[in-house]
Amino acid sequence: MSEKPGDIRSQRIEKIEKMRESGINPYPNRYERKDRIADVVAAFDETKPVKVAVAGRIKSKRVMGKASFGNVEDFSGSIQFYAARDIMGEEEYALYKTHDLGDHVGVEGETFLTQKGEISIKVKKLVLLSKCIQPLPVVKEKDGQVFDEFSDTELKYRHRYVDLIVNQKTRKDFLMRSKIVSGIRRFLEENDFLEVETPMMHSVVSGAAARPFVTYHNTLDMELFLRIAPELYLKRLIVGGFERVFEMNRNFRNEGIDTRHNPEFTMVEIYQAYADYNDMMDLTERLFTTLAEQFFGTTDIPYQGETLSLKGPWRRVRFVDAIKEVTGIDFSAIKSPAEAVSAARKIGLEVDESMGIWKIADEVLGERVEKTFQNPTFLTDYPKELSPLSKSFEDNPDYVERFELFIAGREMANAFTELNDPFDQKERFEGQSKMRDEGDAEAMMIDDDYITALEYGLPPTGGLGIGIDRLIMLFVDTASIKDTILFPLLRPDGQQDI
């Protein structure tokens, strides 16, 4: 009788209308759920049937006339139920038969084992808790093989809730993300780090090389930038006497989107007074191996068809040595940009003199070297020019005490001995500011207050940043960062959903 007969949504709306007419509320306010499904399954004893009341979504339904099997699923798991007219009563059973896949129901009854040996609930009473009027994709499974998986990437990201309802792998991956994030927090807390929250809206763009999102505060009548990194605030806290701090939260960078980049991404930044970049390497290594052992029981983890060994100690190789090893180019011996250009061109890279020696070196590294680091590798001792916030070696001012960690060819972490010399920092800021004036949109701005903070004295400090989304990619074995972010940024599709 609907306007569009055959349309599943209209059919279900009709069902709702009928229920309302007969005084049944398809969206009741409350249900006394007494048991979690996983607990019911775990506690099952064939010789001792127990009364249970579970709640969840109907995930499957197999009706055989006057009796029926189905599965309800809650967050903890899934269980089969057996609904029979003789037990439920004719009216209740008829109503149950109108319920659809995706409906939330409360199921009460006694546990029993079917002839085929499946733990089930013999339904005494089944009540609708929330009607699902949208047709769910039907994903079936047998012997671990998944049929008709809901696989349209666009729909998965746009309607993540549907993805979570029907695809077990998605649910598992995000559960894993949650657990890893809390594992990281636990690890840091156990190591006496204090979690802090610093501003997300900055008036100065600094702390990393990236283009910011710009926003505006009405009352103050000023431009603000969404933070690209919390770094400078966290170091202010070290100045303030918090010796070990971390912040695990979102950064925003107005850059491209691809399998490794989302404009908002999660980063943990960690600062430790009286430590240097070597201590940060140890900390990083311990964190990763602790997580691997916790979640896999081993440091060998599968990733995209390969096995990565996270077992320490990890390889440490100097920036210039790594480039030399892979390409034969020794940047420590190169004296002029022209020389660097010709070396880079020899291996087929497009660069020009204005980049300077070290940006060219960085280009060579990114193009030819990084992908060779499959197992964890600390790339250390960066050139000063590429690192405006890191401290130089006492005996070699051209290089800084910094490392980046690569796993599976991807940058996973960045750390250094923090530059705490206010005079040096001021000079570096001025250099950045000049680059900015010359059109480098990613160069930092001068943060005068930060210089003032340094003038109060930042103790020798090690700092470390780890990209959480990328770490998760590793642990849930996915090739795209979007599979680790519940709601990745997409363009609006311009269509009305539904």
Partner RNA sequence: GAGGCGCUAGCUCAGUCGGUAGAGCAACUGCCUUUUAAGCAGUGGGUCCGGGGUUCGAUCCCCCGGCGCCUCACCA
User: Minimum Å distance from CB 93 to RNA?
Assistant: 9
* Region 173-202 residues binding RNA, contact defined as CB under 7 A: none
User: Minimum Å distance from CB 352 to RNA?
Assistant: 12
Question: How many angstroms separate the CA atoms of 347 and 318, rounded?
Answer: 21
Between 56 and 239, name the residue whose CB sits nearer to RNA. Answer: 56
Which of 4, 30, 48, 335 is close enough to bind RNA by CB under 7 A?
Answer: 4
| 92 interacts with RNA by CB under 7 A | no
* Region 437-466 residues binding RNA, contact defined as CB under 7 A: 442
**Which part of the chain contacts RNA (CB under 7 A), choosing from 94-102, 274-282, 284-292, 331-339?**
94-102
| 140 interacts with RNA by CB under 7 A | yes
Between 157 and 288, name the residue whose CB sits nearer to RNA. Answer: 157
**Which part of the chain contacts RNA (CB under 7 A), choosing from 214-222, 311-319, 326-334, 478-486?**
478-486
**Which part of the chain contacts RNA (CB under 7 A), choosing from 236-244, 261-269, 279-287, 421-429?**
261-269
Between 190 and 350, name the residue whose CB sits nearer to RNA. Answer: 350
User: Minimum Å distance from CB 221 to RNA?
Assistant: 29
Between 339 and 370, name the residue whose CB sits nearer to RNA. Answer: 370
Please say whether the beta carbons of 339 and 346 come within 8 A.
Answer: no
Between 165 and 245, name the residue whose CB sits nearer to RNA. Answer: 165
Number of residues that bind RNA (CB under 7 A): 80
Between 170 and 414, name the residue whose CB sits nearer to RNA. Answer: 414
| 492 interacts with RNA by CB under 7 A | yes
The two beta strands, 244-252 and 194-195, are: parallel
* Region 21-50 residues binding RNA, contact defined as CB under 7 A: none
| 85 interacts with RNA by CB under 7 A | yes
**Which part of the chain contacts RNA (CB under 7 A), choosing from 54-62, 125-133, 184-192, 230-238?**
54-62
Between 222 and 490, name the residue whose CB sits nearer to RNA. Answer: 490
Site pattern 226..255 for RNA (x: CB under 7 A): ---------------------------x-x
| 411 interacts with RNA by CB under 7 A | yes
Site pattern 334..363 for RNA (x: CB under 7 A): -----------------------------x
User: Minimum Å distance from CB 218 to RNA?
Assistant: 28
| 167 interacts with RNA by CB under 7 A | no
Which of 13, 50, 67, 164 is close enough to bind RNA by CB under 7 A?
Answer: 67
Please say whether the beta carbons of 215 and 223 come within 8 A.
Answer: yes
Between 147 and 216, name the residue whose CB sits nearer to RNA. Answer: 147
**Residue linked to tokens 């599965």:** 71
User: Minimum Å distance from CB 468 to RNA?
Assistant: 9
Which of 17, 46, 91, 118 is close enough to bind RNA by CB under 7 A?
Answer: 118
Which of 100, 108, 173, 401 is close enough to bind RNA by CB under 7 A?
Answer: 100
Please say whether the beta carbons of 263 and 253 come within 8 A.
Answer: yes
